[in-house]
Each structure stands twice: as C-alpha cells, then as structure tokens.
Amino acid sequence: MFSIPNAFSLPPHFNDKDSWDSAFEFGETLDEGARKPAAVRNVRLPYDVLPRFYSLRLQVRLHKDDTPRFCFNGSVVIKIYCTSSTDSIFVHAFHNLNVSLDLIKVETLLDDDSEGSNVQIKKITYDNDLQWYHILLQSKLEAGQFYRVTFGQFWSPLQTELKGWYLSSYDEGNVKK
C-alpha cells in the first residue's frame, strides 16, 4: 500500500486555474510570422478532488498452469479529499485496462474512516486520448469531505512493449526465459 502524507502540498498554481488550463501549442500563423496559440485539451486532472491514500491489490499470472496466462488482475480503493464541490471524479488508467464498470463505487467516509453512504453514479465514460475515466455523479461532492472510490475489479494482458506493467523475456543458452 502507498500513502500520501497529510502534508501533501498543492502545486503553486492551484488557485490560478487560468494558468493550469492554458496549455498551448502553436497553430496558425498571423501577420509577419507571429503565431497564435491553438486551443489544446488540458491533460491534467482537475484539483477538485485529491488522492490521499491508495490500497492496490494485484495478482499476476505467469506460470504454465495459470489460466489465462501472462495477464494481471486487481482492484484499488482510493481515499480522496474534495477541495471544491464537484460532481466529477477523474481517474487515469491505460486504455487496455479492462475495468468492471458495475464494480466502481463512490461513498462518503465518516470521521473514523468507516463507510458512510453511497454516492450515486450517473455515468462513467472513458477518454481514449487522455486515458482517464470520468465518473459523473448524481449529486455534488462536498468540499472538505473525504470519500472513497473503489474500482472493484480490473484486468489486463501484460504488454510486450515498455508501457505499464509489461512482460519481457531473454534467451539463456537455447532456453527462452
């Protein structure tokens, strides 16, 4: 398990939304060689909710008798803190991660970290370009409140390219390992 300390500091531009929303790439040319910035989709996650703690469980299948072989499965529970009221939660995930959408849930946390009430999910979508899940909620999360987001089950084949959790092999003598 991995924990982010409570002294987690926000980036200096946290309160200046214009600065973190203004990613540019150069577009059309104007007079005398001047260039006008073209609009680009922001690739950063919004700061409305911040992760505070992750509990990640993974199981990898590598052995001959594992079925299916060369894949992994797991689940994750994320404790988040809401900094400003929102009805959206974004979670990064690689495009080939197969997530059981019906096992995603959001719930309030009580002061002792015990489970409070479920927060109803309106819709879950995935953005292939930005590689994130957008969880749209029926109601807004409250600023200053902790919540728990659970991805109850996911799996993926191990990749042979060097992205994410990947599989590699080597030859030793005449044996591939």
Which domains are present in the chain? 49-162 (2.60.40.1730)
> Smallest Cα–Cα separation from 121: which of 110, 108, 106?
106
Task: Count the alpha carbons within 13 Å of 111 in the hemisphere toward its beta carbon.
Answer: 0
Phi, psi (rounded to 5 degrees) for 3: -120, 135
Upstream peptide bond of 12 is cis (omega within 30 degrees of 0): no
What is the distance in angstroms between the CA of the first residue and the CA of the last residue of the chain? 29
pTM, rounded to two decimals: 0.72
> Smallest Cα–Cα separation from 109: which of 74, 82, 75, 134?
82
Dist. CA 166–CA 159, nearest whole Å: 4
Q: What is the pLDDT of residue 26?
A: 40
Q: What is the pLDDT of residue 158?
A: 86
Written as tens digits, the pLDDT of the chain (177 aa) is 444 444 444 444 444 444 333 333 444 444 555 665 656 677 788 999 999 999 999 999 888 777 778 889 999 999 999 999 999 999 999 888 899 999 999 999 988 888 889 999 999 999 999 999 999 999 999 999 999 999 999 999 888 888 778 888 888 999 887
Dist. CA 9–CA 27, nearest whole Å: 34
